[in-house]
A and B are shown apart, each in its own frame.
Chain A
C-alpha cells in the first residue's frame, strides 16, 4: 500500500457489517494483545481502546486472494485443494505426503512457505475435513497432526463453534448448556434434530469421519485441464487405463498449442458417490509426450479404488513449464546418447523421488561427508580432490569399535578383533591423517583420525582408524574403529 499503509504502531482493525451492525471482522496481533476481539461491535472497540486504525474489510478481494492461494497450494502440495471460506484452505493430502517426507514434513513445509509469503498459518491434519477445520481454528497449537483414527478424541473438548454450523444456531445451543462438541455428541439425537434440523448431526458425523464429505477442488482458468464424463459409470482397470490414455492425448494437444510441457499431472476419478480418487505423476523435466505421460499415470491405476464406479475423469496439468520444440541433431559419427530421463521418471513415481540419486564427490577428507546426492538428471560434477585415493567399497555408516594390539604413535595394529572374530594383520598401509573440520563445529576442532589399510591373513582388506594422533590426548581417545571393507 506504500505511503497509505497503516502505521504498525497502532492496532489495525477491519470492520464489516452484518445486517445493520458494524462489527470487527479481523484484528492484528497488537489488537488482540490489548483485547479487541473478532465479532465485537466496532463502536464498542473504539470506545474501549481508542486509537485504532479502522479500515473496511473487503470480502470479495479476500475471497479472490484465498482462491489464488488455493491454486498455489494445488500446484505444490496436492491435487485436491479447496477454499474453506472465509479464512481457510482444505487440502486432501492422501497419497501426496510422501513427496515431502511424510505428513510432518508436508506440514512443516507448508508453514514455512506460507510464512515466506507473509502468512501466519495454523495447520491441522486429521482424518476428516470437519475435524481438521475445527482443530486448525480452535485447537491450541499452530501445528497439529492427529494420528489416523484419533481425531474423535481431539475434537471432544472443542467448542461447538468449531463445527461449521449456521451462526444463528450457536446461541441456542449455548442456551441449552451445550458448549463443547463432546457434550453435544453425547446427547440423544431425535429431540435435538427436531429443534435444530438435520444439519446439526450431519456436521458432527462429518467431523468424526462417519459421513463422507467430498472436497471439490478449485479450478482455475489458468490451469490446463481436460475432462471426460461417462454416461455409465466405469470401473474396470482396463477401461480406466483406456480413458487415461485418451485424456493424456487430449492434454498433450492442448499443451502443444501453448508450447508448454508438464511437470506434474493430476488425474481425478470422480466416483458416483462424489468421492474423488486421485493419482499424480511428476516428471523431472517438462514433458509433452503422451506415451510417456500415459505410462506414468497407468502405472498407478491399480491404486485407484473405483468403488461403485467412476462417472467423470479429469486430467489437470498442475505444474507446467515452457517447453519449446527442439531440433534433433543428426550426426553421422556419433550415435545419439540414449535418453533415460523417462526411466528416472517412471522409477521416481513408483518408488518415491528420494530413492534415485547420483553420488557426487565433495571436497572433504572426512569419509562420511565425501558423497552428496544429486538428482539423476542433474549435470553437477563432483570434486576431483580425492580422486586416486584408495577407498573401501563398503563404508559402514557407523564406525565399529574394534579391540586391537598396536604400538604408538603411528604403527598399524598387529591384530584386532571385530564382530567376535580375531584377525592377524599380514600387511598394512598408512597412516592417512584426517583432521576434523573445525569450521563446522567446535567439537571437531583439533580432532584427528589416522586411517590404515590392513590386509589380514586370509586376504581380507579393511579400513580402520585410530581416533587421536597417539601423542596428544586432546586429539582423540586412542580408540580403534573399523570403518570400511576393501575389495
Chain B
C-alpha cells in the first residue's frame, strides 16, 4: 500500500463532513478535558448536536448505574437544562448531583413505555431550549436512532441514550448498528486500594466501541468528580505528574 499523505485524508474528511452537514446548524464539541480521551475523538471531543450511546458492561447492562453517572457528568459539563427520560423508576436523583448535575437543572420524565420515551426524546431534541436530553432505552432501532440523530443535528442539542436492558441476554442488542456518533461501554472495576479502611473513588473501564470518523479505544478512568470531570489515574498518565492530586483535571 502506498504511503498516504495524512493531510489529504484530513482534507477529504472535512469535505465529506461538509456534505454530510448540509442543513446542520452548528456542531461544536464538548471535550472531556482529559487529553488521552479527547485525542481519540474527532475534533477533540464529544460532538454536540449528535446522538451518543452509553451502556454498562457486565451487570451494568441491567442496572446502568455507571452509564447514568457517566452521562450525568457529560450533561453537567454541557451546562444548561437537561431532560432525563426513563421507564424504570430507580434513578436516585441526589446521586446525579455528586456527578455535578445539580437538581435545579434536571427535569425528569417518567414514561410508561419505551415508545413514549422515543417520542418525548425526539420532541425535546427538536425544541432546542435544552442543552442535553438523556433517554434510558432498551431497544433502539436504526430508524429510531436516525430520527433522534436528525433531531439533535437540527438544534445542536446533545442526545445521550443510556442503553439498559431487563435481561442480560438482551444486551446483545448493543452490537446492532445505529446512527449514533459514538458508542461507549462503561464497566465498573475495583477502585485503587486506600491506605485506610474505605472505598476509594470509583473507577471504570471505559470503552469507546464505535466512533464515527475515529477509532475504537479503551481507557481506565476514575469516575466523575463533583464537577462532572472524569480523570485518568496517575499510574496510567505519563509517569509521575505535576498536577498534584495525581490526575488530569480540566479547566472550566
Contact = CB atoms under 8 A, between A and B. Distances in A.
Given A347-B109, A356-B109, A359-B108, A391 B199 contact: no
Interface in B176-195: 187-191, 193-194
Interface string B187-225: 111110110011110111000000000000000000110
B59 interface: yes
Contacts of A376: 107
Contacts of B187: 459
A65 B132 CA distance: 52
A361 interface: yes
A299 to B, nearest CB: 10
A354 B93 CA distance: 17
B129 interface: yes
Interface string A355-383: 11111110000010011000010000110
A458 B204 CA distance: 11
Contact of A460 (B92, B109, B129, B188): B188
A455 B65 contact: no
A344 interface: yes
B108 A357 contact: yes
B68 A340 contact: no
A427 B193 contact: yes
Interface string A444-474: 0000000001110111110000000000000
B123 interface: yes
A430 to B, nearest CB: 9
B14 interface: no
Q: Interface residue tally of chain B, by bracket? A: 35 or more
Interface string B89-131: 1111111111100011011111110001001100110011110
Interface in A383-428: 386-397, 426-428
8 contacts: A340-B81, A343-B130, A347-B109, A355-B109, A357-B108, A370-B92, A371-B94, A396-B90
Interface residues of A, number: 52
B231 interface: no
A427 B120 contact: no
Given A358-B103, A360-B103, A461 B116 contact: no
A387 B187 CA distance: 26
Contacts of A86: none
Nearest to B124: A343
Given A347-B123, A457-B190, A392 B106 contact: no
Given A391-B95, A392-B65, A487-B65, A459 B203 contact: yes
B69 interface: yes
Contacts of B224: 487
B107 A455 contact: no
Interface of A: 338-340, 342-344, 346-347, 350-351, 354-361, 367, 370-371, 376, 381-382, 386-397, 426-429, 453-455, 457-461, 484-487
Interface in B208-249: 223-224, 226
Contact of B198 (A357, A359, A429, A460): A429
Contact of B107 (A358, A390, A393, A427): A358
A359 B90 contact: no
B159 interface: no
A459 B221 CA distance: 13
Contacts of A391: 92, 94-95, 98
A356 to B, nearest CB: 6
A389 B98 CA distance: 8
B95 A429 contact: no
Given A347-B123, A355-B110, A394-B64, A361 B199 contact: no
